[in-house]
Amino acid sequence: MIRFGKKTEKGIRTASMLVTVITLIWLTDFFSDSLISCLLLVWKHTVGRIDVPVLGSEGEREIRLIGWSGFCIAIMAVCGVRRRLASAFRGKSGKWCAVLTLPLLVVAVVTYVANWGAGYGILYRSDGNMGLYYDQIFSYVGWCVLSGLSLFAAGVYVFGMDRIYVEQKRAEQYRVQAAVYQTLEEQYTQAKRLRHDLKNHVLAMRGLWEDQAWEKLGEYLKRMENSAQLGMSEEATGNRAVDALLCQKRQLAEEKSIAWECDVRIPKRCHTNEFDLCILFGNILDNAVEACERLQREEYEPGLQPFISVQAGAVKSCFLLEVRNSMNESEKQKGKNTEKGNTQAHGIGLLNVSDVVRKYNGLMKTEIRNGVYDISVLLPLAETAYDMEQVV
């Protein structure tokens, strides 16, 4: 916290991550030490033919070896889940991280007390009925079970909370997208009404022109432009919601100097509903625009204009959507998928796309080659389930 100074949010997030990592290492180390100690005692008793083996009887070297072995196992185990741990904290608020860490501190304290007792020779006692050897075995097994359950609970809690966060964001994104698509469809309907009345508007403007009422004619034209959004041409895909969405994305691409190519035909027999189609087009095109923006700012291959190509239509008994866009080839090696504050946002968008694909028993494929990102989605046209591999 002192290191980050006034950046309290970042300090809390980093401190929470450190506490979580240390707790997981501690629990894994305690579990490993207990398990190794138990196995070593059994080995001494059965293979070494020692009636009452005691750890450390051969010197401190044996205890240190057990400790270092358990610690190395703990480090390797936590390193194996480092990416999932990073995603559990990345982009989260300080309050969220603090709430996530508090239960882990309780688990760490309980484990520490148990470990402290073990360090001072507190063992399970059978009142001499079973002997020191079995007292040690049951003690180490008990600590192994305690640390194992604590480790399992900590892992389920940390990764479960991350899953809840992702699901909440996905639900929120669905609600926002639904509102946006409804607004787009309303705009499209308004523009369609204006085009329907275009003949009457032409007659009115001709009358103003003949009367040389230039100022009124200018105001009339301005009102038409504002109310109908004439800059948005009709994409004519066969679906009003998709038309409105593509118009918006095309306009956004033109504003950012991104070359736009679109050839989309929604078959009449396509049973995919409008909202799911907009989920597909919206999330994929948002990621495409974002990748092109990064390419422009990083000045990758200057003089080469980034592009977005959208192709969709009926192929055999399926609806095929393919989107290709420019991207920085170095992002493939860096694993950089998005620029958003929370890097999960890009993944959430693709999760939404995957949900739609899975809902209709379809297929999705992504490929990066020669600075071009290519994503293809294949959905069956009929409502009956198809063997998509056979169709392809």
Q: Residue 34: how many CA atoms within 13 Å on its side-chain side?
A: 25
Query: In this predicted model, which residue has the larger pLDDT, 358 or 344?
Result: 358
φ and ψ at residue 331, rounded to 5 degrees: -65, -25
Beta bridge partners of 319: 314, 379
Q: What is the pLDDT of residue 98?
A: 76
Query: In this predicted model, which residue has the larger pLDDT, 388 or 360?
Result: 360
The pTM of the full predicted model, rounded to 2 decimals, is 0.50
Query: In this predicted model, which residue has the larger pLDDT, 389 or 242?
Result: 242
In this structure, the number of other CB atoms found within 10 A of the CB of residue 322 comes to 17
Tens of pLDDT, residues 76-119: 988 888 877 777 777 677 777 777 777 877 877 777 777 676 65
Tens of pLDDT, residues 249-282: 888 888 888 999 999 988 887 888 877 888 888 8
Rg (CA), the chain: 32
Report, at the CATH architecture level, how domain 234-391 is classified: 2-Layer Sandwich (3.30)
Lowest-confidence pick of 59-73, 190-204, 244-258: 190-204
**Rounded mean pLDDT, 151-158:** 84
CA 44-46-50 angle, 5° bins? 50
Give which of 320, 293, 294, 303 is closest to 381, Cα–Cα: 320
Query: In this predicted model, which residue has the larger pLDDT, 99 or 342?
Result: 99
Q: What is the pLDDT of residue 338?
A: 41
Domain with CATH 3.30.565.10 in the chain: 234-391
